[in-house]
Each structure stands twice: as C-alpha cells, then as structure tokens.
Structure 1
Amino acid sequence: MMRILTTGDVRMAPGISAEAGPILADLGAKRPLVVVDPVVHQLGLADKMLSGLRDAGMTPQIFSAFSPDPTDAEAMDAVQIARSVDADCVVGIGGGSAMDVAKAVALLSVQTDSLRALSVPRIVDLPALPILCVPTTAGTGSEVTRAAVITDATTHEKLLLLGSSLQPKVALLDVELTLSCPYRVTVDSGLDALSHALEALVNRNATPYSDGLATQAMQLIGKSLETAARVPGDHAARSDMLLGACLAGMAVSHTSTALIHGMSRPIGAAFHVPHGMSNAMLMPLVTEWSAVSAPQAYGRAAKAMGLAEDPAALIDALKVLNARLEVPSLASLGISQETFRAAIPEMARQAIASGTPDNNLRRADEAQISDLYLTFLKNDAIS
C-alpha cells in the first residue's frame, strides 16, 4: 500500500514569513507559541514574522531557551508556557532544533504521556496543536516531515518521535532568512538534506512518489550546495537548496531514514557532533557497505546527482564532497580513538533501538553496526 502524507500548505517566496499572521488566522488560531532559535531571535530574523503575527491581532509568546540538541526538559519548559497562555497553535522558526521543539510542544501540550513513551517504536497519530514551520536553514526538511528528534536529558539518548501529530499544517519557505546562514551551518545542514534524499531513494519503504521527490532533491542539492556555501548571497543557489531540502524532507517523511541516520544520532548524542555533520562523516562508508547488496538502487542515486549510473561514482563523489566542504574528522573534533571505541556498544544499541537501520536495503544487526563504527574509526585514523 502506498500512503501519501504531506504538509497541506507549502508556500515559497522571498519575504513569505511575514504572512504567517493572516495564514494562522485563516486556520482559526489566535494564541501562538513561537519557538524561535536563540541565534535567529538575536539576529532579528524572526522580527518580520513576529510583526505579522501582531498585525493580525495576535500576542505571540516566545520561547527560545533551548540548546542545539534540544532536550525533553527544555521541551517541557516550553509546554508549560504554552499551557499557561492556552496556546492554540505552535510556530517553529529556525533550523531543525527549533522546529523539532515546536513539534514536541504541539504534541505534549495535548497528550499527557512522557516524551519517551511517545517515541519510536510508537507512532503518534494523536491529537496535537496545529504547527506552522519556517526554516532558516536548508537542511532537515522538518517543516514538512512527521518526525522530530529530542534528547533525553538524563540518558543523553536521542529519541525519535514519528507520526501525523508532528506534521506541520503550513510551511513557509523564505529564502531571505537563509542568506546570513554561515558557511559551516550551510554545509552541515545541506549535507543533512542530501543524506535525506539519498536514504529515501535507497530505502525498503520507497515508492514512486518518494523516488520522484528524492531524485529532484538530489539534483537540486548536488548542483547548488557548494555555491550556496561559498557564495552565501547567491539567491538562486540558496533557493535551490531550500527547495531541495524541503523535497528531501517530503521524501524521507514517507520512507523514514535508514542506516546512516541510525548510526549518526548516537554519535551526536555521545559527542555533541552536529547532526548533519555526523551524517556526512558516515555517508561514504555506509553507502559503500550498503551498495554491495543493492548496486542498481545506488546506481540510480548516482545518476540523480548527475554522475555515471554506478555506485562507485556515488561513493567517490561523496568522499570528494566531504573533502571539498571540509567535513572534519573525529580527531579534529577532539574525540579520541579510545573514547569513541568505548562508546561503540551503547551507540550500536541505540542505532538498533531507533528502528531506522531496518529500512536500509542491506540490513545491519548490532554486531555489524559495531563493526562499521570500528571501520569508521580506523578510516578516521588514517585520513
């Protein structure tokens, strides 16, 4: 069975974020809680949107007290504010962290179970507050997905929330908000988007619908990422990236992620490596390991990036892209071989617990994931 799940209203235009007020008013919302990334708030990137909300007769309550890897405790702080003002909708503006917090708040404001109890393997097709998302990076595609990742503050495990409760009602793609995105954030978020498109294409849950979205996303991201990073004011490249990330998000929302993300989240949880960066670090290795069992699928992914229809071409291109975009090594991040090796058993356990490795065309058990982490560590030492 093919089921198509997507955000019902996606609007893309320069300055579109200023129209959030009338759009929410049309949904019958009056009391928004706005979850805004702290840096985005400090830089004033949300000001036009906030003015639009006020012009529509709303009094937005703002929450920005969360970290780059937002925790369940931080999300619950936002939930308390939402409940205190009887919020009837949630707006997320920023990168994936802001939008993920917004989604968690929308769910937890209505549901009484703990965040862990609501996380995968449970699917949360439950009542929640309506969500409007405005991305300021071209990366997670969270503005159109039914997923969110929140860290358990006690165990430091990244918990995956999945279900229609988290699907935004509206997504506003405003390229003007991405122009000041710095080089490293542009690269890491862009490579995150690329990993979404790739994992949607080479996925046990892929459909003709998701394939079309993922293919177009790989084309847009493949031709525009480096330009967007090196020439930040290039509107065309930034627009391609914003659209590409959105399409990749739509695709992966239908398929879910696979082995790259399954292995990446535990690295982020254990060592606070940005999510897109850890995806990029793993992408060539996991692609090489997986393509052995599915050469045709990975050949199609290579073709989508404008390469020869050959898995080897894709693997080489990913390695070159990482080098050109200065994706760091573990050593350069100050992560020692010994510390990483000691973390492997728990990271492998968390990867399996997330469920996403099962979506990979070549399935990996816990022992194989441990071996892949060891290979990753060995490659890092000689890079």
Structure 2
Amino acid sequence: MVASLSLPRILRVGPGAAEELGDVILGLGLNRPLVVTDAFLVGTGAAERLTATLHKAGLHPRVFSDTVPDPTTASLAAGVKALDEHEADSVIGFGGGSPMDTAKALALLGVQGGHMRDFKAPRVNVGPALPVIAVPTTAGSGSEATQFTIITDSATDEKMLCLGPAFLPLAAVVDVELTMSMPPRLTADTGIDALTHAVEAYVSRKANPFSDSLALTAIGTIGRHLRRAYADGSDAVAREAMMLAATQAGIAFSNSSVALVHGMSRPIGAHFHVAHGLSNAMLFPAVTAFSVSAAPGRYADCARALGAATAADSDDAAADKLVDALRVLCRDLAVPTPRVYGVDEAAWKRLTPLMAEQALASGSPANNPVVPTAEQIQDLYARIYG
C-alpha cells in the first residue's frame, strides 16, 4: 500500500512559539492576515497580544471574533465579508477547534465562493484556498495539522465533514503557553478527543506505518500526562506533553482517518450542542467495546502504549483491558452520560434514527474495524444514553 501523506509545510513547536508567528507569516510572503478567533480570547486579551506580535513584525492583521461553537453555515457569512473587506491574503485560525474549523472554511469560501454543502465528503477539496496558519489554544483537536473541517448545515443540522488538502494549514504554531489557562472540564474533553484521534488512526482500515508511529507515541504520552493536566492545570510538563501529543494525533488521523466514534459524535454535537471532545468521550468506551473483536491485535497495541496492558498479556486480554481503561479514564475525568449532561431522553430516542443515518453518511464508520449497520449504531446510541 502506498500512503499519501500531507503535513503543514512549517511547524513551530514549543513554549513561546507564538512570538515567532510574525516571522512565519513574513517568511511565507504574506502581509494581510485575517485572525479568526472567538469572543473569549478577545475578552482575555490573548487576541490582542497575538495581533501585537503581528503588528511588531510589520504585518497588517484584522481580527474576526464572531465565531461560534460548532460553526454553522450561517455563521460563516460575516467571516467571508470580513475577508473581502480586509482584502486578506491569508487566514490565521487562533483558538480551539471551532475557530480553526471556521478559519479553514473561510479560506476556501473566500476564494471559491459557494456553500459549504458543496464541499462536504465524499468530495476531496484540493483548492484553491487562502493560506491557513493555525495557532491552537487547546490540546485536543489537532486541527492545526489536519486536512479536515467540520461545519454544521444551518438548514438541516447536519454536521458536515469537509476534507482535502485545501483545508490543511500551510503552517502551524504550537505554543503550550496558550493552553495553561484551560479549565479542568476543557482539559479532560480535549485530552480524550486527542486520545480518540490517536486510537482511531491506529485501528482505522486506512492506517499506515507513518500514522501508526505517531498514533502510538501520542497514546503513550496521553496515558502518562492527561490525568496530571486535569488535576493540576499549572503542571507545565503535563501541559506541554499533551499539546505535543494532540498535534501528533492530529497528524496521525489526518494521514489515516477517524472511524466510528467520530462518525457517531458529530450528530450528537449538531442536534444537542454537546462539545465535540465531550461527545467523543461519551462514546469512546462503548464503541471500542463494540469494535475490538475485529482487530484485537491493533487494540492490544493501543492498550500497551496507554499503559493499560503489558507484553505478557495476550492480544485479546490486552484489548479487553483497553476497554476497561477507557471506562476508568472517563470516570476519573467525570465524563457525563448524555442523560446526566441534560439531553432530553424523548428527543434522543426520536433523533436516533436520523443520527445513525448521518453518522453513516459521513463516511467515518466505513473506516472502523467493524463496519456497523444503521441498526447497530442506533443500539450504541441507546446504550450510551444513560
């Protein structure tokens, strides 16, 4: 098998890397970036500090902060207008997964126009698009290194997976200092998100030796540091380890794929406004238990990397220990069920057939070791609710 690999051209990784953002953009021959961020980062002053760095480098940035959690097609219109008004030659995604997804979508729409539903999977988008420079502030989505964006169709509530090299950032600046203020709940959800990326990249039907090595490294790092970062947000060693692992997991799944957890997670986010990392966490143990029988050796490797099993365990035993470890991790990090989170049971049951249909339509379940039927997905939704 020949693996087709795509990575950002430039990666700056380490404490203080954000101070070099201006140099990165100048080195790419760009001058007028639109900084796509959110109201929270504007309110904390982080966006102002970032733009000050750009001004100091002689650049001409403009800030667009009207992004929304789980961006929608309706939320993109103001961003396209801001691009045009600023005559932007590039887009900086500054924030968590939602500003990053917004930035990637705007970069494409700013050049090609149209509607995001025109670009959803299975279409592979190769461009043209404005250059994207990614500056993550959470350790989880890995979006700074992936060729994917997720946008919800405002008309249908479908969470659309859009993919292709057009969405791959040209550069990524990964600075752990930007994550130090993450609260425990966000630390947990984004950390489990990164772990899901790494495990799904490794067990995916599209896995390859390049993605495998990054996935296993990320799994091991997360196993050693996620609980530490959750318990003590000031633990700089744990924070830096999680930041690097999230980027490694992002590169891994961008060059392999995600699978059933992500396919089922997106409809939960679209219909019930559950954050992406949290909806992954709600699903992760049950979907893994459903899938292990089809690839015990691959799941066993994940268990050993995580520290949940040893070389002395058989593959079947190690795979089972992975499922148990994920259940314990979600318990330790206080991951709620949909019921505990406040999702209405009647609405959950009513929307389950549609969610199963949307999960399958995304294409991600086809990469799973066990390719599920719609009925099996509905059963998994019922199983995790309470």
TM-score > 0.5 by shorter chain? yes
Aligned residue in 2 for 1:144: 145
Aligned residue among 301, 304, 311 for 2:319: 311
**AA paired with 1:323?**
R
Contact conserved, 1:18 with 1:50, CA < 8 A, in 2?
no
Residues 70-128 of structure 1 show CA distances to partners (whole Å, capped at 9, x for unaligned) of 11121221011101221000001100001110100111111123100111111101111
Contact conserved, 1:188 with 1:277, CA < 8 A, in 2?
yes
Aligned residue in 2 for 1:252: 253
RMSD (Å) for aligned C-alpha atoms: 1.0
Aligned residue among 373, 377, 382 for 1:365: 373
Distance 1:35 1:18 in 2: 18
Counting aligned pairs with the same residue, the percent is: 46
Aligned residue in 1 for 2:134: 133
Distance 2:183 2:46 in 1: 14
Contact conserved, 1:37 with 1:95, CA < 8 A, in 2?
no
**AA paired with 1:303?**
R
Distance 1:303 1:268 in 2: 31
**AA paired with 1:360?**
N
Aligned residue in 1 for 2:84: 83
Aligned residue in 1 for 2:234: 233
What does 1:112-123 align with in structure 2 at a 5 Å threshold?
112-123=113-124
Q: CA deviation at 1:13?
A: 2.0
Aligned residue in 2 for 1:94: 95
Aligned residue among 326, 331, 335 for 2:334: 326
Segment of structure 1 superposing worse, 106-115 or 241-250: 106-115
Contact conserved, 2:135 with 2:173, CA < 8 A, in 1?
yes
Aligned residue in 2 for 1:273: 274
**AA paired with 1:174?**
D
Q: CA deviation at 1:57?
A: 1.8
Count the aligned residue pairs: 378
Residues 180-204 of structure 1 show CA distances to partners (whole Å, capped at 9, x for unaligned) of 0111111111110010001001000
Contact conserved, 1:18 with 1:48, CA < 8 A, in 2?
no
Secondary structure in structure 2 of the residue aligned to 1:255: coil
Where in structure 2 are there 5+ consecutive unaligned residues?
A: 310-314
Distance 2:167 2:290 in 1: 32
Distance 2:319 2:364 in 1: 22
**AA paired with 1:251?**
A
Residues 314-336 of structure 1 show CA distances to partners (whole Å, capped at 9, x for unaligned) of 00000000001000122222113
Q: CA deviation at 1:226?
A: 0.9
Aligned residue in 2 for 1:349: 357
Q: CA deviation at 1:294?
A: 1.4
**AA paired with 1:140?**
S
Distance 1:367 1:117 in 2: 29
Aligned residue among 328, 338, 341 for 2:346: 338
TM-score between both structures, scaled by the size of structure 1? 0.97
Aligned residue in 1 for 2:299: 298
Distance 1:22 1:351 in 2: 41
Contact conserved, 2:338 with 2:384, CA < 8 A, in 1?
no
Distance 1:112 1:339 in 2: 35
Q: CA deviation at 1:376?
A: 2.1
**AA paired with 1:315?**
V
Contact conserved, 2:142 with 2:194, CA < 8 A, in 1?
yes
Where in structure 1 are there 5+ consecutive unaligned residues?
A: none
**AA paired with 1:109?**
G
